[in-house]
Amino acid sequence: MSIVDKMKEMLGQHGDKAKKGMEKGGDVLDQKTGGKHTDKIDQAQQKAGDYIDRSGQGDAPQGGQQPGERPGEGTPGT
């Protein structure tokens, strides 16, 4: 079992805890940056929360991309 499979399994079992931790982390980051990047942090939190929700349902990310991967990157032919 790969690390990615293990992470997906953990997210499926503990998605609510992962979302709470991600929200707390984003809030701390927002505070540390003095609110300069609130819109970007909120957007990242929303996308991460959506990914966690999809992972909990067993769905793959849209377009077969991994989080943080740009289109055209990754392993060709997969």
34: its two tokens: 């003095």
pLDDT tens track for 28-74: 999 999 999 999 999 999 998 898 888 766 544 445 555 555 555 55
For residue 58, which phi and psi values (nearest 5 degrees)?
85, 10
- C-beta of residue 62 within 8 angstroms of C-beta of residue 32: no
Residue with tokens 């984003």: 26
Domain assignment present for 63? no
Domain assignment present for 25? yes
Domain assignment present for 71? no
For residue 77, which phi and psi values (nearest 5 degrees)?
80, 10
Domain count, the chain: 1
* pTM (two decimals): 0.58
Of residues 11 and 35, more confidence is placed in 35
User: Is the model's pLDDT at 26 over the cut of 80?
Assistant: yes
- C-beta of residue 30 within 8 angstroms of C-beta of residue 39: no
